[in-house]
Structure 1
Amino acid sequence: MRILFVVPGMGYGGAERVISILSNAFVTKGDSVKIINFDKEGITAYHLNAKVDLYKLGNMNTKSLKSIVSFINNLRSMIKAYNPDVIISFINDVCAITALANIGLKYPLIYSERNDPRFINNSLKEKSYGFLVKSLTDGFVFQTNGAKNLYSKKVRNRSAVILNPIQMDAFPKCWQGEREKLIVSVGRLHPQKNQKLLIKAFSNIADAYPDYIMKIYGEGPLKQELINQIHELELSERIFLEGNVENILERIVSAEIFAYSSNYEGLPNALMEAMVLGIPCISTDCSPGGAAMLIENEKNGLLVPIEDELALTNGLDYLLKNKEAASRMGACAINLVNEVNEEHIVREWQSFIQRIMDKKRNKN
């Protein structure tokens, strides 16, 4: 099978990690995989098998109609030259451009929704992209039932809910013994992720737990505001912004708590990985239900309402005070691997791809 991914970039992020895992798995199984990347200057953050063909097409100049048409024509030529059995596109605007380039061609197109549609598709431009995606795409992959249910019945009938894969051979062993007096969080420094709430919640318990520190991994536009907040709370020696790191799992595996404070999300990769590592986890119940798909409250982690400082504060306090309960939740969370291991998720993708290909073939 010839599989073409069309993506906005291959830097650090949940979608990029999933694309790399799927691409590597597909070529290992004998498929041909090409990735067309719209970010010409960006890094490739995650390992790609040497058999994966990565091409950096570059960004589209949206201010010039001539440039837009030229970009779409170039993409169309590349699609035709590769002659894929299926095209898979991530992110609303990229899929819309891909759909335009694919008009009149025989290739089935699958869109993978990566976030909460209610928060990312609100501008006129994004709504226009969304219309093109819904009109010109053959199949949809959602991460949560909540996201799927926000779409029309026509879309739902040609869709599947598939969780993100975990690449277990890249995972360190679960931590044995006493955990570090450390609370960790991983995510882009962005208002969506609401690290401000997490920092405030930690500040509320900092005096009660003077030996504990917090490390937040990730980069983003909120960084300076977070630095200022940490300084104002006089916690510069207790809360650290660690940036992006390559060996993130090794950095967090020994932590006592993994905390996630997002307001909305697709399926939180970082939370999922922390759970599989057996770290006791607390997360906001972010829409459209990704965290709730992973965490059964008080069984394999804690769920608290979004933007609820008191609830997050109390949750952190509970996990630190009740180490036996926290350890039990962490041990239970490891079982999530049965649902998200790479082999299982890749089979689900293969099955859905075949379903969409067959449907497209019968339609033609």
Structure 2
Amino acid sequence: MNKKILFINACLTGGGSEKVMSTLANYFAQMGFDVTMILVRNKEHTYEINKRINIIQLTCRHNNKLLILCKRLYEIRKKVKSSNADTVISFMTDINLFTILSCLKLKKRILISERAHPLLINVNQKKPLYIRILRKILYPLADGMVFQTKFAKECYPGKIQKKGYLIPNPIPHDLPSIHKGPREKVIVAAGRLSEEKNFSMLISAFHEVSQIHKEYQLIIYGRGHMLDHLLSLRKNLDLEEKVKFPGYVDDLTERIKDASIYVSSSDFEGISNSMLEAMAMGIPSVCTDCPVGGAAMVIENDKNGILIPVGDVLALRDGMLKIIEDKKFAENLSEEAVKVREKYSVSSIGNMWLDII
């Protein structure tokens, strides 16, 4: 098998798109493909990569943004040409634009993918006008575009949708075994500490839960610029002994495998990797029914998880209380949730990618 696949992304540091890319790259390498990864930003690597994968780390010591852009375009083009890749796959808006521009006239099959809300940077900010203009001009030049959900696909004009494919995120094959027996009295969440994750709502809802069930703790894994705000909220609600922020950890699934509840409180989200992994380990989960529709695609409400309206503190509180107080309901959620292991397995999702490669 001699097909060559080249992935391009920002880095391998703790993000959802980076995790999906590394999971797919590892799978393709194990299948015998010749896999290369170009990383645009020089940051620490937090995801394990198969030794057979060739990693190309770009570096740029300029401070001038225009020079950085030009150098990145030149370097990507040069590396793509020298790799002799049959297919080039890029993730995230800015990297997609770099990739399309860099590969003009190279006669490569270009597949691009959006991994979050196509229209927004965060809940308060639309993508810049120049990004929207460039996307309108360049995206039609790609050979195909991968979307996580139908909602994300429908954010684009018909000529893009015609080239579109719906492929959800894969669940890693090396998750811990499904926990048996009593669960720890811990509620967990994970993600970048940024506005769209709305961990403020989760802390507020947990405050009410903790008034009734004082033995429970809330642990939020991740890092980001909202940490100081969340610490202040924790202090104001007198939850300093009950709400913990361990930061980013590379053994998240091991740490949360016996938790009582997983919560995704996002205002928008692609498909949360942490949510999928929590469900695959049988952790009863409460998730906002947020755009771009990833949670609703995976969760059947009150069957394998609980869906709540975006921003609804009371619904989140009630969802957590229902799981805590109705043990049979929680067990049923757990038994149904683990079925996502097979549906979204790496082999299943990887083969969907291979079909379009």
TM-score category (smaller protein): over 0.9
Q: 2:106: which partner in 1?
A: 105
Matched, 1:84 2:88: no
Q: 2:54: which partner in 1?
A: 53
Task: Kindly indicate whether the alpha-carbon contact (under 8 Å) linking 1:60 and 1:68 is maintained by their aligned counterparts in 2.
Answer: no
What amino acid is the match of 2:51? A
Give secondary structure in 2 for the equivalent of 1:258: strand
In the TM superposition, what is the alpha-carbon distance from 1:342 to its structure 2 partner? 0.8
Identity, % of aligned pairs?
34
Q: 1:69: which partner in 2?
A: 70
Give secondary structure in 1 for the equivalent of 2:146: strand
What amino acid is the match of 1:136? L
Quote the Cα distance in structure 1 between the aligned partners of 2:137 and 2:228. 37
Matched, 1:211 2:212: no
What amino acid is the match of 2:330? A
Q: What are the residue-to-residue correspondences of 1:1-364 with 2, within 5 Å?
A: 1-40=3-42, 42-58=43-59, 63-120=64-121, 122-168=127-173, 170-353=174-357
**Pair 67,193 (structure 1): closer, same or farther in 2 beyond 3 Å:** closer
Runs of 5+ consecutive residues of structure 1 not aligned to the other structure:
354-364
Q: Structure 1 segments of 4 or more deviating over 6 A? A: none
In the TM superposition, what is the alpha-carbon distance from 1:132 to its structure 2 partner? 4.1
Task: Kindly indicate whether the alpha-carbon contact (under 8 Å) linking 1:72 and 1:97 is maintained by their aligned counterparts in 2.
Answer: yes
TM-score (norm 2): 0.95
Task: Kindly indicate whether the alpha-carbon contact (under 8 Å) linking 1:111 and 1:137 is maintained by their aligned counterparts in 2.
Answer: yes
Give secondary structure in 1 for the equivalent of 2:333: helix
Task: Kindly indicate whether the alpha-carbon contact (under 8 Å) linking 2:140 and 2:159 is maintained by their aligned counterparts in 1.
Answer: no
**Pair 273,67 (structure 1): closer, same or farther in 2 beyond 3 Å:** closer
What amino acid is the match of 1:268? S
What amino acid is the match of 1:175? H
For the aligned residues, what is the CA RMSD?
1.4
Moved more, 327-336 or 121-130: 121-130
Give secondary structure in 1 for the equivalent of 2:238: coil
Task: Kindly indicate whether the alpha-carbon contact (under 8 Å) linking 1:62 and 1:68 is maintained by their aligned counterparts in 2.
Answer: no
In the TM superposition, what is the alpha-carbon distance from 1:345 to its structure 2 partner? 0.8
Runs of 5+ consecutive residues of structure 2 not aligned to the other structure:
none
What amino acid is the match of 1:319? I
Task: Kindly indicate whether the alpha-carbon contact (under 8 Å) linking 2:60 and 2:71 is maintained by their aligned counterparts in 1.
Answer: no
What amino acid is the match of 2:139? K
Number of aligned residue pairs = 351
**Pair 307,61 (structure 1): closer, same or farther in 2 beyond 3 Å:** farther
What amino acid is the match of 1:84? A
**What whole-Å deviation, never above 9, does each CA across 1:3-59 have from its counterpart, x for those lacking one?**
11111111112111111111111111111111110111x111111111101111135
**Pair 130,61 (structure 1): closer, same or farther in 2 beyond 3 Å:** farther
Give secondary structure in 2 for the equivalent of 1:127: helix
Quote the Cα distance in structure 2 between the aligned partners of 1:110 and 1:60. 29
Task: Kindly indicate whether the alpha-carbon contact (under 8 Å) linking 2:140 and 2:160 is maintained by their aligned counterparts in 1.
Answer: no
What amino acid is the match of 1:311? A
**What whole-Å deviation, never above 9, does each CA across 1:150-196 have from its counterpart, x for those lacking one?**
1122111111111111122x211111001111100011111010000
Quote the Cα distance in structure 2 between the aligned partners of 1:237 and 1:217. 16
Task: Kindly indicate whether the alpha-carbon contact (under 8 Å) linking 2:146 and 2:166 is maintained by their aligned counterparts in 1.
Answer: yes
In the TM superposition, what is the alpha-carbon distance from 1:135 to its structure 2 partner? 2.8
TM-score (norm 1): 0.93
